[in-house]
Amino acid sequence: MSALMNDRFLRALQRQPVDRTPVWMMRQAGRYLPEYRATRAKAGDFMSLCRNAELACEVTLQPLERYPLDAAILFSDILTIPDAMGLGLYFETGEGPRFRNTVRSAADVEALPTLTAETDLDYVVSAVATIRKALNGSVPLIGFSGSPWTLATYMVEGGSSRDFREAKRLLYGEAAVMHALLGKLADAVTDYLNAQIRAGAQAVQIFDTWGGVLPSWAYAEFSLAYMTKIVDGLIREHEGRHVPVILFTKNGGQWLEAMADSGADALGLDWTTDIREARARVGDRVALQGNMDPAMLYAPPERIREEVAHILARFGEGSGHIFNLGHGITPDVDPAHADAFIRAVCELSPPYHGGK
């Protein structure tokens, strides 16, 4: 593997000195870019794009060709694991992801197969290896997975949900069944992320998109406990470097102290949490990633720059901050506004790290 020319992102995750605050965006390879839409059209549909290592590599690199980003993130979907378990993932226009089969009973959980990522999700592993080679040491590559709780919500509901009625019915009414499902998913996610690390991912992020819909006791028992189990089972040293882990729970700002006990290197913040307060609460235990509201990218570039300056000032001096949005970039954002955001981070952050 090529030597890493820009390790700013990996250093900041470990709270080591950097020359400026590193920046990347969740969903940075996506529908807001015309070149992405062209590649997706060439693939035929979203999952065909995910399953084609060369095209997945192509879209992963597209934002890096436009912007001075400090990391690439694997182009894939969080629902690859349930799909590989035989639930029949498909996408309906305007409806988002759906599953032909659901998991709502002990028998359904028992019937789920045990996955081996290298064979059952070989197209993802191949994409990681292809992307890592193409990056040629320019920036680190981030692998990722959905959290067990987030994956479980889709598997039980059969798709996206507004109220998570079926998932909560199972959690509150048949907790043992939900625990059995989450246990299987935690094992699958651990294997999946380790396969990505072996294939070349240099950091990994666990997306707990729906942990924030739970009450505090249930978040601790049904979401955080399983993410902690995954962190415990991950490869943490590879190719002579530490492999950092980022936990991101949307609407999870009230649980930062507990999340910092998970063993992760960094916590992702959504835009509802003040980053100065978050830093005061977790201290030097973990790095923080975030957390500009993605909707700020609809504002004029000068307003975007003001918000970047505000968040940098709120975090303050020193390392341990990876600038990101508080959730994924939305499809109808003007790419020029994303450029204004990223360049503002590059230009305004050096003074917080002893530069000019």
Give the residue ranges of the annotated binding site: 27-31, 77, 154, 209, 327
Q: Are strands 287-292 and 266-268 parallel, antiparallel or unpaired?
A: parallel
Q: What is the DSSP letter of 160?
A: -
77 is catalytic: yes
274 is catalytic: no
Sequence ranges of the binding site for substrate? 27-31, 77, 154, 209, 327
**Looking at 37, 66, 77, 236, which residue is catalytic?**
77
Total length of the chain:
356
Distance CA 23, CA 203 (A): 14
279 is catalytic: no
Distance CA 293, CA 78 (A): 21
Q: Are 24 and 69 in contact (CB under 8 A)?
A: yes
CA 291, distance to chain mean position in Å, is 13
132 is catalytic: no
**Looking at 32, 36, 67, 154, which residue is catalytic?**
154
CA angle 318, 323, 327 (to 5 degrees): 145
Q: In whole angstroms, how far apart are CA 296 and each of 210, 300, 346?
A: 22, 9, 18
**Looking at 8, 11, 20, 27, which residue is catalytic?**
27
Residue 116 CB-half CA count within 13 A = 2
352 is catalytic: no
Residues sharing a CB contact under 8 Å with residue 57, sequence separation 6 or more, in sequence order:
75, 127, 130, 131, 134
Q: Which residues pair with 207 in a beta bridge?
A: 146, 248
Distance CA 266, CA 241 (A): 16
Which residues are designated catalytic? 27, 31, 40, 77, 154
